[in-house]
């Protein structure tokens, strides 16, 4: 990997830098388990399981995950407002309760970045490469802080930033474009690193200089079909020897 051909690296967070999906799974389990144990209305209140997560929650926007899980259990709740308090028994109240649970689990259990990802971050720091995190999660700064990596990135374009700026989410390339602009790097000289096919599609749609697919389970073939130029199973594979520096 010759990093001297590029001026910036744009990292997705979950599945690329940190295994945050595990934290999300624990947060969903704690929130739904508490809700089901206290719910005395109609519907199935049997124990929440990991299979519920994979069947109804995984990969979906938070409120959609709540709504789909409740539907699977035959439980009807009012929708609620986006800023519904976490103690409100509504779809969005539960969604916000999950967000609080995520932050509590993160603070309690922490999160450890993938060693290979840290190795690449160390390498790019030595090269003087400007870095960004581009994540749809609103919790990205908290995750990076918990992992001890926040100071590695010149900018974090997360769900909150995207909402404030009116940027379309992945698979649209808008958030990656914005990150590259903040780093003052032309898109054609920026590298996108993603583990999700939607993120890879965003990188391809944006005509970035290189789109790296990180195979954490999506499958190399699916990532290539989505537009990845290179597929790796660990970011340590991208630690190049003999790089002279960013933009050299």
**Alpha-carbon torsion angle 220, 222, 226, 227, nearest 10:** 20
Residue 128 Ramachandran class (φ > 0 left, ψ -120 to 50 alpha, else beta): left
Structure tokens at 227: 């537009």
- Helices (H), strands (E): how many in the chain? 10, 6
Give me the catalytic one of 12, 174, 187, 195.
Answer: 12
Q: Judge whether 114 and 108 are in contact, CB under 8 Å.
A: no
The first and second tokens of residue 48, run together, are 């929440």
DSSP 138-185: TTHHHHHHHHT-GGG-SEEE-HHHHHHHTPPPTTSSHHHHHHHHHTT-
Q: How far apart are CA 96 and CA 88, in angstroms?
A: 9
Question: Token pair of 189, please?
Answer: 């000289």
Question: Which secondary structure element, helix H or strand E, spans residue 194, and what is its range?
Answer: strand 190-194
In sequence order, what E strands does the chain have?
8-11, 131-134, 155-157, 190-194, 210-214, 230-232
Asked if 48 and 72 touch (Cβ cutoff 8 Å), the reply is no
Of the residues 2, 7, 14, 122, only one is catalytic, namely 14
What pairing do the DSSP bridges indicate for beta strands 131-134 and 8-11?
parallel
Concerning whether 14 is annotated as a catalytic residue, the answer is yes
**Catalytic residue ranges:** 12, 14
């Amino acid at each position: 990997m010759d990093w001297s051909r590029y001026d910036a690296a744009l990292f997705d967070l979950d599945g690329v830098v940190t295994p945050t999906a595990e934290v999300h799974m624990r947060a969903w389990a704690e929130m739904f388990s508490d809700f089901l144990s206290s719910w005395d209305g109609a519907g199935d209140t049997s124990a929440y399981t990991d299979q519920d997560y994979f069947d109804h929650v995984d990969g979906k926007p938070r409120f959609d995950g709540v709504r789909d899980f409740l539907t699977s259990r035959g439980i009807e709740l009012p929708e609620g407002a986006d800023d519904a308090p976490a103690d409100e028994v509504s779809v969005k109240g539960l969604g916000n309760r999950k967000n609080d649970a995520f932050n509590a689990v993160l603070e309690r259990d922490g999160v450890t970045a993938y060693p290979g990802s840290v190795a690449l971050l160390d390498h790019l720091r030595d090269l003087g490469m400007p870095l960004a995190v581009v994540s749809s999660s609103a919790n990205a700064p908290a995750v990076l802080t918990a992992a001890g990596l926040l100071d590695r990135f010149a900018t974090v374009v997360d769900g909150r930033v995207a909402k404030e700026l009116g940027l379309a989410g992945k698979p649209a390339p808008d958030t990656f474009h914005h990150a590259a602009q903040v780093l003052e790097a032309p898109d054609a000289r920026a590298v996108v690193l993603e583990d999700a096919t939607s993120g890879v599609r965003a990188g391809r749609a944006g005509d970035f200089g290189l789109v790296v697919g990180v195979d954490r389970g999506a499958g190399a073939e699916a990532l290539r079909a989505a537009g990845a130029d290179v597929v790796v199973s660990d970011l340590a594979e991208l630690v190049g020897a003999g790089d002279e520096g960013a933009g050299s």
